[in-house]
Amino acid sequence: MNTRNFPIGIQTFEKIRNGGYLYVDKTELVHRLVSTETPYFLSRPRRFGKSLLVSTFKSYFEGRKDLFEGLAISKLETEWKQYPILHLDLNAEKYDSAERLTGILSRHLNIWEDEWGKDEREQTPADRFSGIIRRAYEKTGTKVVALIDEYDKPLLQSLLNEDLQEEYRNTLKAFYGVLKSADEYLRFVFLTGVTKFAHVSVFSDLNQLSDISMIPEFATICGITRDELVEVFTPELEKLGKANELTFEETVEKMARKYDGYHFRENTPGMFNPFSVLNALRYLMFDNYWFHTGTPTFLINILKDSDYDLRKLIDGVEVEQSSFSEYRAETKNPIPMIYQSGYLTIKEYDREFKSYTLCFPNDEVKYAFIKFLQPAYINIEENQRNFHIQHFVRELRSGDVPSFMNRLKAFFAGIPYELNDKTERHYQVVFYIVFKLIGEFVQAEVRSAIGRADAVVYTQNQIYVFEFKLNGTAEEAMQQIDEKGYLIPYTADNRKLVKVGVEFNKEERNIGRFLVE
């Protein structure tokens, strides 16, 4: 079988088309957008194809008909007119000082001024941008196309620096505001970003901007649908299945569990993460490719700063749209940033109450995110930092509960001495993280309703029922398992039923006695 080219890391439409790389055709949706003069904004997680989409717009407005041969748009477009284009990409820069932002803006402005002229009276980035747009229009007699990719990168990188954040906000407020004042000279405006920040002019002043992030019509414009996966990548899916001893159907299902599940509006197709899909097919291995590219540490800091209960996040949180569609730093609400960064997605919608349930989109994000959170909640010795959850799984499979409990004790080193409500919740979160991670390898449930044991783990030969007492004894834990009938749902199962009652020792600030029966 001939090996086909995977466009991993390639974000230029021209390079993909001329290089013979695999391409999932999104140009029918592109044509719908370019057929209007409406300014648009699209929010999608990183590595989801936003830059490639912007590059596709650029090639279209350059009139590059040759690049679109054989694609859906070739049957829809007849004009192929060329426009002056101002393309600003804020992604490839480290924004750790005010000079970083003004520097990258100046570099782009200098290039544009070399082409369209310069007025020495224009000093600020906003004034220069405005003058460039006007002169480009006057010199060509053609309206200008403005494409801004990752508009929010400076804001994201300065979240934990209030002074720098304010400087960036003021600079961008004036700069993006030009897109409203210069409207008469603009043919098409398209901005992308990860999140929608409140109090930035592009969303407060530029009221004609159309946010298509949650419009069903454009829900599939970035990412890969299940139908597109099978249609475009069948030969590669067959090779992946063969390498992992799976049938074609099993391969597609495992790809779905691992990388599918993103919903950017209720009742729209689930979307596969394109970066993970391409890497899995390229390397013939199911791995956490998207997550390995780097999770912003500010997410952890936002969670800790807001004192958000991690268990609600993992099990799914019910919210109104207004509470996750726009990020406001002052509200101490981490959900918008976590959702728009791609770690949560829409799973359910209640039409009566107009509320959404947000959950992890797939197994890659679920287990990788919990592992990423682990150091913030679990302090273990340096030589144990590279722990592997499979040790817990193997001990339960072999029936070695004492070794399992001793390993669990190691996770509580360094918990603060003072016992209070917050500390007790910290203990509960530690238990929660461990059992959720166990669930990657065997079926595991953690209590989410009254009348259930704290945790239930199913192995091939055993069913373990755990009850933990933060303010009680191991005997009381075992008594509660019996009195509440926690074993009853499993009595018809042929596997061995094992009760584990655990108490927490306040003096040692760790797991104390435990009983196994």
* DSSP bridge pairs for 402: none
Residue 373 within any structural domain of the chain: no
d(CA 273, CA 262): 8
- Window from 143-157, 267-281, 327-341, 470-484 with minimum mean pLDDT: 327-341
Going by pLDDT thresholds of 50, 70 and 90, the confidence category of residue 386 is very low
- State whether residue 288 is helix, strand or coil: coil
Of the candidates 186, 221, 326, which has an alpha carbon nearest to the alpha carbon of residue 176?
186
In this structure, are 437 and 511 located in the same domain? yes
Residue 401 is predicted with a pLDDT of 92
Pairing of strands 462-469, 496-505: parallel
Of the candidates 486, 380, 490, 479, which has an alpha carbon nearest to the alpha carbon of residue 443?
490
* DSSP bridge pairs for 428: none
Residue 8 within any structural domain of the chain: no
The tens digit of pLDDT for each residue in 8-56 reads 989 999 999 999 999 999 999 999 999 999 999 999 998 899 999 999 9
In this structure, are 209 and 133 located in the same domain? yes
H or E segment and range at residue 356: strand 355-359
Residue 2 within any structural domain of the chain: no
In this structure, are 288 and 301 located in the same domain? no
The tens digit of pLDDT for each residue in 340-370 reads 888 899 999 999 999 999 999 999 998 888 8
In this structure, are 210 and 258 located in the same domain? no
* DSSP bridge pairs for 130: none
The residues, ordered by sequence, that sit 6+ positions from 398 with a Cβ below 8 Å of its Cβ are none
The pTM assigned to this predicted structure is 0.85
Residue 2 is predicted with a pLDDT of 60
In this structure, are 196 and 236 located in the same domain? no
Q: Are 16 and 58 in contact (CB under 8 A)?
A: no
Residue 372 within any structural domain of the chain: no
Last residue of a domain, one of 192, 218, 244: 218
Residue 407 within any structural domain of the chain: yes
What is the largest distance, in Å, between two alpha-carbon atoms of the chain? Answer: 85
Between 405 and 410, where is the model more confident?
405
In this structure, are 392 and 495 located in the same domain? yes
User: Which CATH number covers residue 91?
Assistant: 3.40.50
Burial 235-250 (b: 16+ CB within 10 A, else e): ebbebbbeeeebeeee
In this structure, are 173 and 235 located in the same domain? no
Size (the chain), residues? 517
- Window from 45-59, 89-103, 176-190 with minimum mean pLDDT: 89-103
* Paired tokens of 459: 């192995």
Of the candidates 299, 346, 354, 355, which has an alpha carbon nearest to the alpha carbon of residue 327?
299
- SS3 readout for 416-467: CCCCCHHHHHHHHHHHHHHHHHHCCCCEEEECCCCCCCCEEEECCCEEEEEE
- Residue listed under structure tokens 């691992």: 258
In this structure, are 39 and 129 located in the same domain? yes
In this structure, are 442 and 457 located in the same domain? yes
- Domain with 428, as residue range(s), is 378-516
The number of domains in the chain is 4
Q: Are 458 and 489 in contact (CB under 8 A)?
A: no
In this structure, are 324 and 434 located in the same domain? no
Residue 385 is predicted with a pLDDT of 46
Residue 434 is predicted with a pLDDT of 82
Of the candidates 302, 301, 304, 331, which has an alpha carbon nearest to the alpha carbon of residue 319?
331
The tens digit of pLDDT for each residue in 129-141 reads 999 999 999 999 9
Residue 1 within any structural domain of the chain: no
User: Which CATH number covers residue 512?
Assistant: 3.40.1350
- Window from 18-27, 54-63, 307-316, 446-455 with minimum mean pLDDT: 446-455
Most confident of 55-59, 363-367, 482-486: 55-59
In this structure, are 250 and 330 located in the same domain? no
Last residue of a domain, one of 239, 273, 292: 292
Mean pLDDT confidence for 455-473: 90
- State whether residue 509 is helix, strand or coil: coil
* Paired tokens of 35: 């057929």
Residue 414 is predicted with a pLDDT of 54
In this structure, are 204 and 233 located in the same domain? no
Single-letter residue type at 101: L
Residue 313 within any structural domain of the chain: yes
Is it the case that residue 379 has pLDDT exceeding 70?
A: no
Mean pLDDT confidence for 477-487: 92
Last residue of a domain, one of 164, 183, 218: 218
Average pLDDT, the chain: 87
Residue 481 within any structural domain of the chain: yes
d(CA 91, CA 194): 11
